[in-house]
Amino acid sequence: MSEPPQLAKPVTIAVRDVWKSYDGQPVLRGVRLEVLAGETLVIIGGSGEGKSVLIRQIIGLETPDHGEIRLNDSTVAEYRRLPMEEKPFRASMVFQTSALLNSLTVAENVSLALREHRSATREEIRGIVRECLEQVDLAGTEDKMPAELSGGMRKRVAIARALAVRSDLILYDEPTAELDPLLTEEVGALIRRIQDRRRPTQVVVTHNLPLAREIADHVAVLRHGEIVDYRTGDDFFHSEHPHTRNFLRAARVV
């Protein structure tokens, strides 16, 4: 009998009055947002509304001009300054482009962080890679190169890479961008399966409403750099907020 999955450590996110501008143009305008430990929050919005900018602030790739973001009891900056072995939880990001290294095999991409931080033996790493690829339905692809994979497969390798370090917080930037409806459904099912299996905190940036319907515990709507609507996943599709109704109508889901 296989071992039961190890549950993720609880991670909460508090976004407090976050502002971000580029060349004097505000992109985020006082964003306030709470993400509960172990939930999947979907951030919805049209192109250019600040969704990807917000998620980059949360993971610490950029710094807010004003306000702060806390992961549990630490600011993002405090968390990132900690050495890997002292971090109280693991955080990963799945980029829109998958961000695989083309010169490395699938196995080498998935195990990159493990090898860099020497957190496991070679044999343990091989086992972790095999297990993570099985979880994303890519068993047997260890020796393939990224150029040999479809777009959907590359997305799943990127997710396997996040799973390999046992991430307690996983952020996804447009995980179904440029995928057809069938592959979108597969990625959505995978995100939901990760949630059911380990209960990590997940934040998913998307404009894809079928994906939001599949995975969201809560949905936040970002417009002109502000959160204008926030509801449970079920309530979102019945929202009476004018912007949300227009968004749903334009996507032909109401």
Give the list of residues 6+ apart from residue 140 with CB closer than 8 angstroms, or none: 133
pLDDT at 28: 97
247 falls in which pLDDT band (50, 70, 90)? Answer: confident
Which pLDDT score, from 0 to 100, does residue 246 have?
A: 86
Instruction: Pick the closest to residue 161 from 188, 133, 141 (CA basis).
Output: 133
Instruction: Select the more confidently predicted residue: 219 or 246.
Output: 219
- Cα 145–Cα 168–Cα 207 angle in degrees, nearest 5: 70
Task: Give CA separation, 201 vs 14, 101, 126, in Å.
Answer: 12, 26, 26
Element (H, E) at 110: helix 106-110
This prediction's pTM: 0.91
| Among candidate residues 136, 200, 132, the one with its CA nearest the CA of residue 169 | 200
Residue-wise pLDDT for 59-104, tens only, equals 999 999 999 999 999 999 999 999 888 999 999 999 888 888 999 9
Q: Strands (DSSP E) along the chain, which ranges?
A: 13-22, 25-35, 40-44, 66-71, 74-75, 91-94, 169-173, 201-206, 218-223, 226-232
pLDDT at 178: 80
Nearest in space to 13 (alpha carbons), one of 51, 69, 90, 94: 69
Domain range annotation of the chain: 6-90+207-254
Q: How far is residue 70 from each of residues 14, 198, 244, measured CA to CA in Å? A: 5, 22, 27
Of 142, 151, 201, nearest to 172 by C-alpha is 201
Q: Report the alpha-carbon distance of residue 180 to residue 160 in Å, rounded.
A: 20
- Residue 216's pLDDT band (cuts 50, 70, 90): very high
Region of 74 please: left (phi>0), alpha (psi -120 to 50) or beta: beta
Above 70 in pLDDT, residue 163? yes
Residue 119 pLDDT level (bands cut at 50, 70, 90):
low
Nearest CA-CA partner of 147 in 106, 114, 110: 106
Beta strand pairing call for 13-22 and 66-71: antiparallel
Q: How far apart are CA 174 and CA 176, in angstroms?
A: 6
Q: What is the pLDDT of residue 29?
A: 96
Tell which CATH classification among 3.30.300.30, 3.40.50.300, 3.40.50.1100, 3.30.70.260 matches the domain 6-90+207-254. 3.40.50.300
